């Protein structure tokens, strides 16, 4: 349970990042999720990515809504402030928090119930505002805490544990995000750490709203035969299209992936994301083609994964607002009011 504490014993030989911190310094409380839950793998990937980026723990803000996935913000980076808000409304909390301080890293963790049902509107509008955050959707097609109802991402024909088949068409978070103008859209699988960790790093460093839809099977309610969100089904219908690596400016670009073309993308702060196109015909900077590609693959029952679309030059929420560089929560009070003299001037208009 999240109020349990893990023993903090760090082996002196553990590797350290640029801040001198080990992976243990990026852990959180003990997970209370079921053994084998995909979400715990995502948590591990977040720990790996934030450690790898050498983020100062207090520079990270963790946000979530309600549900199994939303609990996980308590399970990583305990040195970061966390906010477990209300069901489906994390994007508005994130909007306000980001409005108040543009200089922190924001990571939101949500589920398919949280994002695609009760919070669908907030999800859509956070994308429209292009708030600077990484939004991880831990997608398992099912409501876990209320014991196994279909979620809005369940595929037609996918079977519930008791055999009932879903009849309503699914909402595809990736296609939705693409049509809403999302500036970083990725899909991954909790079981593919090699793909997920670099995506998380890239998403953290992207300026604007980065969505990673992570297929994250529910071992208790949706991992059986007939489910399209089971470990087995996802592994069998997995089509990685673009692998992304995050590369800080000082580092040399090296590729460990054999096939495909390599395209470096420079971010606003000089960091780079290196895209390895596993399908040479795929263009991750063309929104329209990405949507068509996804639809074609979907018709064949394939989950396209990897970095599906990225726009590294978009204006984020603060750019559009023309916000000053000093965070709103740090502006000295003297800068915020025109004082008695100003008020006297203002009063003239009302005489």
* β-strand partners of 211: 135, 185
Is residue 145 near other proteins by the rule CB under 8 A? no
Q: Choose one: 97-105, 143-151, 266-274, 304-312; the region binding other proteins (CB under 8 A).
A: 97-105
Q: Which is nearer to other proteins, 299 or 322 (CB)?
A: 322
Is residue 288 near other proteins by the rule CB under 8 A? no
Is residue 299 near other proteins by the rule CB under 8 A? no
How far, in Å, CA of 268 to CA of 248, rounded? 12
Q: Which is nearer to other proteins, 65 or 198 (CB)?
A: 65
How far, in Å, CA of 59 to CA of 83, rounded? 14
Q: Which is nearer to other proteins, 123 or 184 (CB)?
A: 123
Q: Choose one: 182-190, 197-205, 303-311, 339-347; the region binding other proteins (CB under 8 A).
A: 339-347
Q: Out of 18, 54, 96, 146, point to the residue binding other proteins (CB under 8 A).
A: 96
3-state secondary structure of 135: strand
Q: Out of 46, 47, 55, 74, point to the residue binding other proteins (CB under 8 A).
A: 74
Q: How many other β-carbons are positioned within 10 Å of the β-carbon of residue 86? A: 14
Q: Give the alpha-carbon dihedral of 113, 118, 123, 128, to 10 degrees.
A: 150
Q: How many residues does the chain have?
A: 351
Nearest approach, Cβ of residue 90 and other proteins (Å): 8
Q: How many other β-carbons are positioned within 10 Å of the β-carbon of residue 217? A: 29
**What single string gives the DSSP state of each residue in 60-106?**
EEEEE-SSHHHHGGGGB-TTSEEEE-STT-HHHHHHHHHHH-TTSEE
Q: Which is nearer to other proteins, 94 or 294 (CB)?
A: 94
Q: Out of 101, 117, 285, 298, point to the residue binding other proteins (CB under 8 A).
A: 101
Write out the H or E segment, with its range, that includes residue 12.
Answer: none
Binding site for other proteins (CB under 8 A): 1-3, 56-59, 61, 73-74, 78-86, 89, 91-101, 103-104, 121-122, 124-125, 129, 318, 321-326, 328-331, 333, 335-340, 342-343, 346-347, 350-351
């Amino acid at each position: 349970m999240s109020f349990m504490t893990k023993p903090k014993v760090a082996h002196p030989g553990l590797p350290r990042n640029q801040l001198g911190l080990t992976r243990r310094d990026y852990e959180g409380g003990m997970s209370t999720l079921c053994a084998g839950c995909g979400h715990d793998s995502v948590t591990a990937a977040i720990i790996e990515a934030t450690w790898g980026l050498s983020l100062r723990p207090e520079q990270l803000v963790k946000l979530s809504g309600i549900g199994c996935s939303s609990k996980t913000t308590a399970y990583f980076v305990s040195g970061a402030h966390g906010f477990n808000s209300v069901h489906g409304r994390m994007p508005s909390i994130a909007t306000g928090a980001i409005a108040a301080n543009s200089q922190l890293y924001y990571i939101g963790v949500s589920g398919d119930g949280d994002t695609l049902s009760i919070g669908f509107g907030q999800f859509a509008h956070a994308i429209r505002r292009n708030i600077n955050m990484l939004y991880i959707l831990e997608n398992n097609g099912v409501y876990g805490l209320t014991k196994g109802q279909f979620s809005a991402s369940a595929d037609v024909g996918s079977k519930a544990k008791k055999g009932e088949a879903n009849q309503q068409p699914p909402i595809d978070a990736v296609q939705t995000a693409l049509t809403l103008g999302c500036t970083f859209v990725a899909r991954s699988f909790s079981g593919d750490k090699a793909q997920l960790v670099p995506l998380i790093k890239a998403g953290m460093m992207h300026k604007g709203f980065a969505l990673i839809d992570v297929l994250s099977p529910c071992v208790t309610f949706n991992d059986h035969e007939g489910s399209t969100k089971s470990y087995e089904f996802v592994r069998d219908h997995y089509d990685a299209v673009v692998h992304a690596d995050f590369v800080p400016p000082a580092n040399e670009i090296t590729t460990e992936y054999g096939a495909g073309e390599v395209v470096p993308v420079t971010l606003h702060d000089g960091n780079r994301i290196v895209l390895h196109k596993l399908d040479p015909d795929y263009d991750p900077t063309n929104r329209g083609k990405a949507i068509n590609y996804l639809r074609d693959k979907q018709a064949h029952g394939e989950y396209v994964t990897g970095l599906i679309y990225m726009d590294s030059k978009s204006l984020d929420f603060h750019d559009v607002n023309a916000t000053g560089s000093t965070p709103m929560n740090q502006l000295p009070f003297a800068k915020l009011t025109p004082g008695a003299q100003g008020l006297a001037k203002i009063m003239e208009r009302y005489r």
